[in-house]
Structure 1
Amino acid sequence: MAAPGILLVDKPQGITSHDVVARARRALGTRKIGHAGTVDPMATGLLVLGVEGATRLLTFVVGLDKTYEATIRLGVSTDTDDADGQIVGTVDASSLESSRIAEAIAPLTGRISQVPSTYSAIKVDGRRAYDLARAGEDVQLKAREVTVSRFAVLAERRASTVSATEGVVDVDVVVDCSSGTYIRSLARDLGAALGVGGHLTALRRTRIGPFDVATAVAVDAIADAPLLAPAEAAAAVLGRFDVTAEEARDLRHGKRLTGAASRLPASPTAAVDPAGGLVGIVERRGADVKSAMNMPEEAAR
């Protein structure tokens, strides 16, 4: 059986997140592997995998803030809001000034209301929106509140497209955002605000919470990759609560730690035993500490 832990993978372009999971299952010899949020086939970057018992920790990773590096092409719109779609409009964007781009980005920063891309994985009456869109059905998705804490321009490039009079502007950006934010939608909305249309031509996820793509491994290196121990990964996400051997035993047996809430750095947090094993995820209950999720002892290290 494969050791439990968290595996950070740098997904290459052109394969799905499920493809990466399938390769990891073959490389590590286990079926019990899951991921904490997909990356589009067009995109590259960080994919967080849970192996064996550590799959239970993925629920705490899914909702973490993320960082993306992206390229937005202004002057061309597509039906999918990215480069995988069909072009549905072109406008000469060559006269756009950097100051106008910055002004249009400002309202897309902070707490915003965003309509996800029609070709997203959101379910509508039990079916994926992209399946409905590809079937020619009219897809109307509701706006959702998301937070974009940083939307910054790194570089701009100007080039010609179909003819010498139709210019595009490629804008390299970095985005820090809450879970559920669609970078494709930011590209679309930026283009719409500027009156020239826009879509995403490149996307790379570089961070999920405390996990950075710089420490991720290539798909071909999964078999020999070191895993983050469950306790290390859980503490990185939730903070660490050290317990004695007796307290660890009580938590595993469903008992509360009376009066221990004042020692808890956060709620929920990761309880770690003296041997460095993850007892589970604990939370405050009044003045006490109670287990919210226990880890099987064989999956604790």
Structure 2
Amino acid sequence: MSDSSPQGILVCDKPQGLSSHAVVSRVRRWYGTKKVGHAGTLDPMATGVLVLGLGRGTKLLGYITGVSKTYLATIRLGSSTPTDDADSESDSFARPEALAAVDTASIEAAVAAQRGTIDQVPSAVSAIKVDGRRSYARVRAGEDVELKSRRVEVSAFEIIDIRFAADEGHIDVDVEIDCSSGTYVRALARDIGTDLGVFGHLTALRRIRVGDFELDRAVSLPDALDAPPAELICLAEAAGTLLPVVAVGAAQAKALMQGKIVSAADLGAQAPDTVAVVCEDTLVSVAEVRSGGGLKSLTAFAIDLA
């Protein structure tokens, strides 16, 4: 059995103003296939790396979702919005004297407080589910939503530039952030503004990395969706950016596809828990490494082995 439909990973440079779901819809039309998903939502205001899976590539998305990410952002101090970003109008404003008191040292201290392992309360207007409904849907229905804090890791949070315009009611801070999956950059902006007593929200957000998928590999959506589709990253290459790779022969590959445990070459003393198994440059499966070096398929990808 073979499958001629598109199979692989697409790294897209999401344009501003489109939801991640809208990008998926456009890619479905662009490639002429229904089986498309994405690994991690970007808000409509945000731009940058959105990783999509097509065909059997959707099976890899679960392994991509949890990887770390890098963002470029602009935090505006001096006001806040209901969504913690520029997708809604400012509704709270700092006192002029409070904003005038904010200097470089205090901004640096507030940013430093958000580095490392922190307990963060996500933005209420988010996709987190509360009793089966998205938080943003509850907020838009007029409900008060209080989300529980979650532990996230902000491994790097660097200030690139600070532009003081207190006489205009704001201070803009350009930053670069490396963080774990599940970190809300909007919430970082909100909390820095709160710490400084002047409110804060995002005015720009660009994701430049998702794991090892960086912006230089991203393609732009064409204006006309009858344009030739961009080349996809093949399943084996994509899996190799996420997991250690183990090569097997055809007989082992067939056995894995049949649900059997197969032995692999020496994985070393520090054997990984999960590996990508390839056979002649074809991704066979993502497999669990059992004690003794055996491999048990967790997610099967090859369909031409019986």
TM-score (norm 2): 0.91
Superposition pairs of residues 61-140 of structure 1, within 5 angstroms: 61-91=64-94, 92=96, 93-140=99-146
Tell me the residue number matched to 1:177.
Answer: 179
Tell me the residue number matched to 2:285.
Answer: 280
Question: Once the 2 structures are TM-superposed, how far is the Cα of residue 243 of structure 1 from its aligned partner?
Answer: 1.1
Q: 2:258 aligns with which of 242, 247, 253?
A: 253
Question: Once the 2 structures are TM-superposed, how far is the Cα of residue 130 of structure 1 from its aligned partner?
Answer: 1.2
1:167 aligns with 2:169: yes
Q: 1:262 aligns with which of 243, 263, 267?
A: 267
**Aligned to 1:121, what secondary structure does the other structure show?**
coil
**Identical aligned pairs, as a percentage?**
49
1:46 aligns with 2:49: yes
- Contact 1:117–1:182 (CA under 8 A) maintained in structure 2: yes
Superposition pairs of residues 181-192 of structure 1, within 5 angstroms: 181-192=183-194
Tell me the residue number matched to 2:59.
Answer: 56
- Aligned partners of 1:258, 1:127: CA distance in 2, in Å? 45
- Aligned partners of 2:86, 2:73: CA distance in 1, in Å? 12
**Aligned to 1:297, what secondary structure does the other structure show?**
coil
Q: 1:3 aligns with which of 6, 12, 24?
A: 6
Cα pair distance change 1:241/1:197, threshold 3 Å: same
Q: 1:144 aligns with which of 147, 150, 166?
A: 150
- Aligned partners of 2:109, 2:273: CA distance in 1, in Å? 39
- Contact 1:94–1:158 (CA under 8 A) maintained in structure 2: no
The one-letter code sitting in structure 2 at the alignment partner of 1:134 is R
Question: Once the 2 structures are TM-superposed, how far is the Cα of residue 55 of structure 1 from its aligned partner?
Answer: 0.7
- Aligned partners of 1:298, 1:12: CA distance in 2, in Å? 37
141-150 vs 84-93, which deviates more?
84-93
Give ranges in structure 1 of 5+ residues lacking alignment.
none
- Aligned partners of 1:262, 1:42: CA distance in 2, in Å? 44
The one-letter code sitting in structure 2 at the alignment partner of 1:137 is E
Cα pair distance change 1:31/1:11, threshold 3 Å: same
**Aligned to 1:24, what secondary structure does the other structure show?**
helix
**Aligned to 1:15, what secondary structure does the other structure show?**
coil
- Aligned partners of 2:105, 2:55: CA distance in 1, in Å? 50
**Aligned to 1:175, what secondary structure does the other structure show?**
strand
The one-letter code sitting in structure 2 at the alignment partner of 1:233 is A
1:193 aligns with 2:195: yes
Question: Once the 2 structures are TM-superposed, how far is the Cα of residue 259 of structure 1 from its aligned partner?
Answer: 6.4
Any idea what the Cα deviations from partners look like across 1:179-232, whole Å, max 9, x if unmatched?
110000000000000111100000011110010011100011874311000000
Question: Once the 2 structures are TM-superposed, how far is the Cα of residue 260 of structure 1 from its aligned partner?
Answer: 4.5
- Aligned partners of 1:213, 1:265: CA distance in 2, in Å? 31
**Aligned to 2:45, what secondary structure does the other structure show?**
coil
TM-score (norm 1): 0.93
Paired positions, count: 294
